[in-house]
Amino acid sequence: MELRNIAIIAHVDHGKTTLVDTLFRQSGQFRDNQQVAERAMDSNDLERERGITILAKCTSVVWNGTRINIVDTPGHADFGGEVERILSMVDGVVLLVDAAEGPLPQTKFVVSKALAIGLKPMVVINKVDRPDARVNEVHDEVFDLFAALDASDDQLDFPTLFASGRQGWAVEKLEQAANEEKDLTPLFELIVRHVPAPNVDADAPFSMLATLLEANPYLGRMLTGRIQSGRIKANMAVKALSGDGTQIEAGRITKILAFRGLERVPVEEAEAGDIVAIAGLSKATVADTICEPAVTEALHARPIDPPTIAMTFSVNDSPLAGTEGDKVTSRMIRDRLMREVESNVAIHVKETDQKDSFEVAGRGELQLGILIETMRREGFELTISRPRVLYQTDENGVRLEPIEEVVIDVDEQFSGTVVSKMSERKSELTDMRPSGGGKVRLTFLAPARGLIGYHGEFLSDTRGTGMMNRLFHGYAPYKGPIQSRRTGVMISNAKGDAVAYAMWKLQDRGPMLIVPGAKVYEGMIIGEHSKENDLDVNVLEGKKLTNVRASGKDDAIRLTPPLLLTLEKSIAYINNDELVEVTPQSIRLRKRYLDPNTRKRMSKKVEE
């Protein structure tokens, strides 16, 4: 059977996963009466809730005798560790671009990786049925993007289709969109015609580059990759080589799983060009070569970008520890983090001087936020520190910090506020241009540490209409101190249940972060103070009842709705002397040192 291996790449929410759903249905992978969830490729609960793809996934469809292996890739740069490696498995890419938004930073990130490898892209302009679609301008923007990324003449001569993934059709010319009978046949035909068959050697000894890694509870470590040469059979003897050719381990293949539709099906053997998952090795990891014992040279693997941001994960030591979760010890947290490192090579974990805390480094706040959310759903209790960037030092001893390219689409009336706020964060405005419909597109180069916690403020400044996209740009010399949160916080001075009357009396001092009846303890942050200093308050004090009636005693308690912070907002909100307490049922903010006397003593030490 003919083989084609393709990746679908696009920015977040441009319709990749929906398009793959429709390809499934039209290739006959599903029975007509089969119940299939919408966005079937996003199988993870968090992916469904957030509407983003976090994990790269492989699948395949058969169309007119050709098996098309499709890889649905994450669109977010925080998960770029996945994207870079996936592209080494495929021979072509379908670039999906929103007909209204056009190419955005994450599109640029993935496309630059694909063009650098030499893949020839096909462009699908999706959502052409949107009322604000600007198809021709977007087509020109894609061409300009390719040219800016040094695409070759062959790559610049890309075929284009116009599509609606949700309605399930694609056409070569937009005028054809008016016809009644439409489906995705043009896309299937284009893939078979434009994407070359895998360039592999079927007669050479077996070799495969491990591209994805997962821990399976029944089969152990599962390594997914494309077979580069030869054949693989169950129970075959193999070895694993690191990038420099050093042997890591030897073993036998216990299971071979091939991708057939949404299922992974056990097969007895597979041949060069196919994408398979294998079990049987206990040490081999991503970027290692799995091969026959006779092979001595490792396959070339692309380097993985280093982490740029780190947080400290610690045991929950608050007075409410252990009341909501069942995984609370440092050993459980350590084992869980080590399992994550096994399957996610973009995350690094190391133990700190304190035995009950671990430094976890990754590519961005979103990636680490997803890990924390996954752990709390599994029953873990943790405390999380404020994110901090990871600096590097050049050969002259100059401290370098990570810089991100930030592209902001915003209504013209808010552009002045955004430029002002970004300049306070030591950002440099590199481009400003109108993007149609009264909007402006601003491009900045900003230090990553200045962007921590800015997204919520940005949405408030732009009345929720602004769009901000970030992409790792590189390292540059340290740009100097950046002012953090300007306001202080209100801190509970006792343990108990918050009383509505006390909260009512305190809300003139600033907005509350808890609801009446919430469990609080000494050192827990219960509200935001409107001034710069922190304030210890009593939120447990009820109304004093006497047998004397007086005017004003029976005032109705009217509470302003509290600011209930999500996990990501909480992590961005805290200062260096504060922590986020994460449990399966609650997210609480607290001071690092709960006792007020210890806090004063430690703050004096910092000032000295």
Q: 489-607 architecture in CATH?
A: Beta Barrel (2.40)
pLDDT of residue 79: 46
* Listed residue (217, 127, 204, 208) closest to 165, CA to CA: 127
CA dist., res. 527 & res. 502, Å (int) = 12
Using CA atoms, how far apart are residues 174 and 444, in angstroms rounded to an integer?
A: 35
In the prediction, which pLDDT does 116 show? 81
Q: What SS3 state is found at 487?
A: coil
pTM exceeds 0.75: no
Pairing mode, strands 207-209 and 289-291 = antiparallel
Residue type, 223: L
pLDDT of residue 132: 80
DSSP-derived 3-state class of residue 123? strand
Pairing state between β 388-389 and 392-393: unpaired
pLDDT of amino acid 590: 93
- What are residue 462's phi and psi, to 5 degrees? -105, 15
Q: What CATH code is assigned to 207-291? A: 2.40.30.10
SS3 string of 15-83? CHHHHHHHHHHHCCCCCCCCCCCCCCCCCCHHHHHHCCCCCCEEEEEEECCEEEEEEECCCCHHHHHHH
- The helix (run of H) or strand (run of E) holding residue 471 is strand 467-477
Q: How far is residue 444's CA from residue 102's CA, in Å, rounded to a whole number? A: 18
**Cα–Cα distance, 370 to 372 (Å, whole number):** 6
- In angstroms, the first-to-last Cα distance of the chain is 73
Supply the pLDDT for residue 588. Answer: 93
Given a cut of 70, the residues of the chain with pLDDT beneath it are: 11-17, 27-57, 72-84, 105-106, 109, 176-181, 262, 302-305, 343, 436-437, 485, 544-555, 606-608
What pLDDT score does 76 carry?
A: 45
- Which CATH number describes the domain made up of 392-477? 3.30.70.240
- pLDDT (0 to 100) of residue 42: 37
CATH code of domain 2-194: 3.40.50.300
Alpha-carbon span 62 to 243, nearest angstrom: 34
> Minimal CA–CA distance to 452: which of 359, 589, 576?
576
β-strands 587-591, 489-492 pairing: unpaired
List the domain boundaries for the chain: 2-194, 207-291, 392-477, 489-607
